[in-house]
């Protein structure tokens, strides 16, 4: 769960500490004021008290009217302007609020509270530098104002000055050691900084103050999830769900965490609740979890649209993009948190290298983890410009892309971790494309195109995607320059028996559905002496899968588990296996092409959504479409037949080996030409003023 999302989810609209609360009766303030005027027109104290009561009780429009009258009677009273400004601010009238705070300060230059609240009004107007200056003045006048530090932190956060924001939260907490909201927001910030252990500690301090505070439980759960402490994260989400507070997205996140440990308890009940909630338009799950749980393009679109509406709606605050005259080259910007050893870059690296620099200028906009590994080093020298924008705000990134003159902006992340979808909501470029990182529609009007082929999005499924579709001859870019394994891994190295057929699946644990696992166990039962090698990234998943096998009548000893390996050993491990069994509804993507690169056949059962059809696309692109089936029954039968027919499996292996250097899957030069042809066509369409339309690039 991105920390930026946590900030939005847990944003609090707190009353200013410079106003005292009052549970006064909710009578008409205007009527009371008129009665007081009739009774004692010179009773200034009573008249002012009625206006202040209206403000405290939320009768804001009436409060403004009453303070108008009072100011007319005493235009030199700074407190009246200050109080009216507070009413304007709470009504969302930030411009009027700033004007009144300025009047109050003009009358009382040392009015610390006015400077503080003026900062909040300026921040609401996105005048962040002025807001910070106002907070600095407030703190100079009143160094003990913890609320000024708290609000200052939010402005620093909005400017992506995260270390400054952290110092402000620390200052607020030093002044108010029971500052619940500060501990929670500090936890969100630490998550964004990648300091998840420190974030957990901050949330735990909040929970010491308020053991039932749902937002602290939710935040702590998100940090624990990032640390892969899945069981503890689930406990936090359960605690958060016990609250009556707004728990949007909580069900989806809790279920996603459970899938990471292969905990399928109450899965069907959760799926029914999520499906009903999505159809009702509820904010019940982040889109990524829906991809892994439902093979339903309509539900995936509903999840994306609900997310966009609540978290990153279209934002025209930067205005339209000025028309730019055609240049000598088309400028393409690639936006990603994954320019590192990550599946996206492992697929895309050669594509970036092969871009035709005589026709295209390519620029990387990098954000996310501050990783500098061999892939980052490789890519940094490939792009015409490699710009680290992680410390910039979404608006600053969008403006930078506009200033550079990006013609086509490609989002390589979509709704995955560390995403910056708001950049696209603000319009970074006249043409905006989603590709490879997120296998579904983004459901956003500001995403113009989605890259696909006719396997991952059949034309008859077209209506479920908000974007126009760029249909390429094949979907997945792949890197044919990836390293070859330098050493062989034996069965003994991997803990496998010396003989017998070896099935495997190296997909992430959250992709394993109980229906798929049941098929695997039936296959093991039908193939004597066979074993199943599974990748696991946590001991709880291993334990749960072992129990699940036993419940299905399979000796748990026939499951062999492996952990994450270095890239070359990871590729070598495939060569010790006999057949890769894919998952549904979220297929192997990069993992499928890795297996085929190593010569290992992959058997997939295709569904309806992109995530459920990507392996079918990959297998077609390597020339073995016969490894794609459409039902679980066919999947089980073909797995058994291939295990029992070494001649047929050997033929498929030879086909994969023969096609590796010639079939489309690993022909990155061919893929690059097709994508560049698509870029040229959509650029010409944009330059002509025509709206986006589906395009088909011929082989």
pLDDT tens-digit readout, 209-243: 999 999 999 999 999 999 999 999 999 999 999 98
400: confidence class by pLDDT, cuts 50, 70, 90: very high
Asked if residue 588 lies in contact with residue 595, where contact means CB atoms within 8 angstroms, the answer is yes
Residue 15 has pLDDT above 50, yes or no: no
Residue 179 has a CB neighbour count (10 Å cut-off) of: 22
Q: What percent of the chain lies above the pLDDT cut of 90?
A: 83
Average the pLDDT over 521-540 and give the result.
Answer: 97
What integer pLDDT is reported at residue 41 of this predicted model?
66
What integer pLDDT is reported at residue 10 of this predicted model?
42
Angle (CA) 142-143-146 rounded to 5° is 95
What integer pLDDT is reported at residue 26 of this predicted model?
41
- Separation between Cα atoms, residue 184 and residue 200, nearest integer Å: 10
Residues 6+ apart with CB under 8 A from 208: none
Taking the CA atoms of 639, 644, 645 and 646 in sequence, report the sign of the dihedral they define. Answer: positive
Residue 309 has pLDDT above 60, yes or no: yes
673: confidence class by pLDDT, cuts 50, 70, 90: very high
Asked if residue 116 lies in contact with residue 131, where contact means CB atoms within 8 angstroms, the answer is no
Residues 6+ apart with CB under 8 A from 33: 47, 50, 51, 66, 69
51: confidence class by pLDDT, cuts 50, 70, 90: confident
What integer pLDDT is reported at residue 57 of this predicted model?
85
β-strand pairing of 449-452 with 628-629? unpaired
- Separation between Cα atoms, residue 470 and residue 431, nearest integer Å: 13
Bridge partners, 431 (sequence order): 408
What integer pLDDT is reported at residue 31 of this predicted model?
72
Smallest CA-to-CA distance from 690 within 699, 679, 681, 698 is with 681
In 3-state terms, what secondary structure has residue 532? Answer: strand
Worst-scoring range by mean pLDDT, 15-19, 316-320, 545-549, 656-660? 15-19
Structural domain spans, the chain: 3-221, 330-471, 491-666
Spatial strand order in the sheet of 559-562: 559-562, 531-535, 502-505, 579-581, 602-605, 628-629
In 3-state terms, what secondary structure has residue 536? Answer: coil
Hey, what are 234's tokens?
Answer: 């689930």
- Separation between Cα atoms, residue 68 and residue 338, nearest integer Å: 55
Residue 296 has pLDDT above 60, yes or no: yes
Burial of 288 (0-12, 13-18, 19+ CB in 10 A): buried
Residue 1 has pLDDT above 80, yes or no: no
Smallest CA-to-CA distance from 59 within 21, 20, 19, 87 is with 87
Residues 6+ apart with CB under 8 A from 132: 119, 152, 155, 156
14: confidence class by pLDDT, cuts 50, 70, 90: very low
What integer pLDDT is reported at residue 48 of this predicted model?
78
Hey, what are 338's tokens?
Answer: 């994954």
Strand ranges inside 586-632, DSSP E: 602-605, 628-629
What integer pLDDT is reported at residue 498 of this predicted model?
92
Q: Fold match between 330-471 and 491-666?
A: yes
Residue 20 has pLDDT above 60, yes or no: no
CATH topology assigned to domain 491-666: Rossmann fold (3.40.50)
Residue 7 has pLDDT above 90, yes or no: no
- Separation between Cα atoms, residue 462 and residue 386, nearest integer Å: 35
Smallest CA-to-CA distance from 138 within 126, 125, 122, 162 is with 122
Q: How far is CA 261 from CA 1, 233, 343, 579, 633, in A?
A: 17, 11, 21, 24, 26
Q: What percent of the chain lies above the pLDDT cut of 70?
A: 94
Class of domain 330-471: alpha beta
Spatial strand order in the sheet of 385-388: 385-388, 360-366, 330-336, 408-411, 431-434, 449-452, 468-471, 695-696
Residue 47 has pLDDT above 80, yes or no: no
DSSP-assigned states of every residue in 7-41: HHHT---PPPTTS---------HHHHHHHHHHH-T
Hey, what are 555's tokens?
Answer: 């000796």
Average the pLDDT over 143-172 and give the result.
Answer: 96
- Model-wide pTM > 0.85: yes
| Look-up of token digits 């033929």 | 651
Asked if residue 349 lies in contact with residue 460, where contact means CB atoms within 8 angstroms, the answer is no
Secondary structure letter of residue 594 according to DSSP: H
Class of domain 3-221: mainly alpha
What integer pLDDT is reported at residue 33 of this predicted model?
62
40: confidence class by pLDDT, cuts 50, 70, 90: low
Computed over every residue of the chain, the mean pLDDT equals 92
């Amino acid at each position: 769960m991105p920390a930026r999302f946590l900030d939005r989810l847990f944003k609090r609209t707190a009353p200013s500490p410079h106003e005292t609360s009052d549970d006064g009766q909710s009578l008409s303030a205007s009527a009371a004021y008129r009665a007081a005027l009739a009774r004692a027109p010179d009773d200034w104290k009573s008249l002012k008290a009625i206006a202040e009561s209206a403000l405290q009780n939320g009768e804001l429009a009436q409060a403004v009217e009453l303070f108008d009258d009072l100011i007319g009677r005493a235009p030199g009273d700074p407190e009246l302007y200050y109080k009216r400004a507070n009413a304007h601010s709470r009504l969302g009238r930030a411009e009027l609020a700033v004007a009144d705070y300025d009047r109050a300060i003009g009358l009382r230059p040392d009015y610390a509270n006015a400077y503080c609240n003026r900062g909040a009004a300026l921040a609401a107007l996105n005048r962040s530098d002025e807001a910070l200056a106002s907070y600095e003045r407030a703190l100079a006048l009143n160094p003990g104002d913890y609320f000024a530090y708290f609000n200052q932190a939010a402005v620093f956060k909005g400017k992506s000055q995260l270390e400054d924001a952290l110092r402000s939260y620390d200052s607020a907490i030093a002044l108010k050691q029971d500052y619940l909201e500060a501990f929670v927001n500090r936890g969100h910030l630490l998550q964004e900084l990648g300091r998840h252990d420190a974030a957990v500690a901050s949330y735990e301090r909040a929970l010491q103050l308020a053991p039932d505070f749902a937002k602290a439980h939710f935040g702590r759960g998100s940090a624990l999830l990032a640390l892969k402490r899945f069981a503890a994260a689930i406990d936090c989400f359960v605690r958060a769900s016990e609250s009556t507070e707004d728990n949007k997205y909580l069900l989806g996140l809790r279920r996603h965490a459970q899938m990471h440990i292969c905990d399928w308890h109450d899965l069907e009940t959760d799926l029914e609740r999520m499906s009903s909630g999505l159809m009702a338009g509820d904010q019940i799950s982040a889109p990524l979890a829906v991809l892994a749980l439902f093979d339903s393009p309509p539900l995936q679109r509903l999840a994306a649209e609900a997310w966009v509406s609540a978290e990153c709606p279209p934002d025209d605050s930067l205005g339209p993009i000025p028309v730019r005259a055609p240049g000598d080259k088309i400028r393409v910007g690639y936006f990603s948190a994954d320019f590192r050893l990550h599946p996206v870059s492992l697929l895309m690296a050669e594509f970036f290298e092969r871009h035709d620099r005589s026709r295209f200028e390519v620029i990387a906009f990098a954000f996310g983890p501050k990783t500098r590994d061999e892939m980052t080093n490789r890519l940094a020298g490939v792009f015409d410009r490699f710009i680290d924008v992680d410390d910039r705000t979404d608006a600053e990134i969008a403006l930078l892309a506009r200033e550079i003159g990006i013609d086509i902006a490609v989002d390589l992340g979509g709704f995955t971790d560390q995403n910056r979808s708001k950049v696209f909501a603000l319009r970074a470029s006249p043409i905006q494309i989603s590709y490879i990182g997120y296998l579904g529609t983004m459901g956003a009007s500001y995403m113009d195109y989605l890259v696909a082929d006719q396997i991952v999005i059949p034309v008859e499924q077209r209506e479920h995607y908000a974007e126009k579709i760029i249909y390429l001859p094949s979907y997945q870019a792949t890197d044919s320059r990836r390293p070859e394994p330098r050493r062989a891994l034996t069965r003994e190295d991997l803990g496998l028996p010396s003989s017998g057929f070896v099935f495997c699946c190296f997909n992430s644990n959250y992709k394993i559905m109980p229906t798929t696992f049941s098929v695997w166990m039936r296959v093991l039962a039908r193939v004597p002496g066979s074993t199943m090698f599974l990748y696991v990234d946590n001991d709880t998943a291993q334990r749960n899968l072992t129990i699940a096998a036993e419940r299905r009548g399979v000796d748990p000893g026939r499951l062999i588990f492996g952990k994450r390996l270095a890239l070359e050993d990871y590729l070598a491990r495939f060569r010790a296996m006999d057949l890769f069994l894919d998952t549904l509804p979220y297929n192997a993507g990069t993992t499928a092409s890795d297996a085929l690169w190593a010569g290992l056949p992959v058997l997939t059962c295709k569904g309806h959504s992109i995530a459920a059809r990507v392996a079918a696309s990959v297998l077609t692109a390597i020339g073995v479409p016969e490894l794609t089936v459409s039902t679980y029954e066919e999947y089980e039968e073909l797995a058994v037949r291939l295990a029992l027919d070494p001649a047929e499996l050997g033929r498929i292996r030879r086909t994969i080996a023969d096609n590796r250097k010639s079939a489309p899957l690993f022909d990155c030069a061919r893929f690059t030409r097709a994508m560049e042809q698509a870029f040229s066509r959509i650029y010409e369409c944009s330059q002509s003023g025509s709206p986006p339309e589906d395009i088909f690039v011929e082989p």
